[in-house]
Amino acid sequence: MERKLYRSERNRMIAGVCGGLGDYLNIDPVIVRIFFVLLALGGNGIGVLVYLLLWITVPSENLPLDTNLQDTVRNGTEEIAERTLEMGNEFRRIVRDPNPKASLFIGITLIFLGAFYLIQNLHLPWLDWFNFHNIWPLLLIFGGMALLIRYLRKD
């Protein structure tokens, strides 16, 4: 049976691109999502561009099989416009009525980032190891470990 690449309606976070790719490649969509995040962060943003291109050109799961590329592109661009408006409205709502926990999280994150860059800019010889190039792989390792632990706890 020939598999068809589509954007998933069942397993989607933004547009269903990673869910559809996961189904097509027969792998967990979380792995595809992590790949796109790493490609976006480490690949000078190329992951975002590839994701947007796939969003526009890959048909949605609920479109008829005989949909041509022009209709698929029109559908994808209309969906991007709708999602952008939804995100804008959601952003306005968040700014008007902020969640206290979000303020706490953002505050802690800003303090952490400020302290990180302050320590890095002090150029202390005994803290030469403390830079983004060393911290980034550690964050990836801890993130991967957290995902594995979460996965193993489900079993």
- Same domain? For 84 and 120 the reply is no
Predicted confidence band of residue 1 (pLDDT cuts 50, 70, 90): low
Question: Tell me, what amino acid is at 66?
Answer: D
Predicted confidence band of residue 141 (pLDDT cuts 50, 70, 90): confident
- Total number of domains constituting the chain: 2
Residue 52 has pLDDT above 80, yes or no: yes
Mean pLDDT of 1-10: 79
- Same domain? For 139 and 104 the reply is yes
Strand partners, 60: 7
Instruction: Domain of residue 50: give its range.
Output: 1-97
- Chain-wide mean pLDDT for the chain? 82
- Same domain? For 68 and 120 the reply is no
Domain finish residue from 58, 74, 97: 97
DSSP letters along 57-90, please? HSPBTTS-TT--HHHHHHHHHHHHHHHHHHHHHH
- Same domain? For 57 and 16 the reply is yes
Q: For residue 7, what is the DSSP state?
A: B
- Same domain? For 93 and 141 the reply is no
Residue 155 has pLDDT above 70, yes or no: no
Predicted confidence band of residue 65 (pLDDT cuts 50, 70, 90): low
The more confidently predicted of residues 51 and 151 is 51
Residue 28 has pLDDT above 80, yes or no: yes
The counts of H helices and E strands in the chain are 6, 0
What does residue 122 show for φ and ψ, rounded to 5 degrees? -75, -20
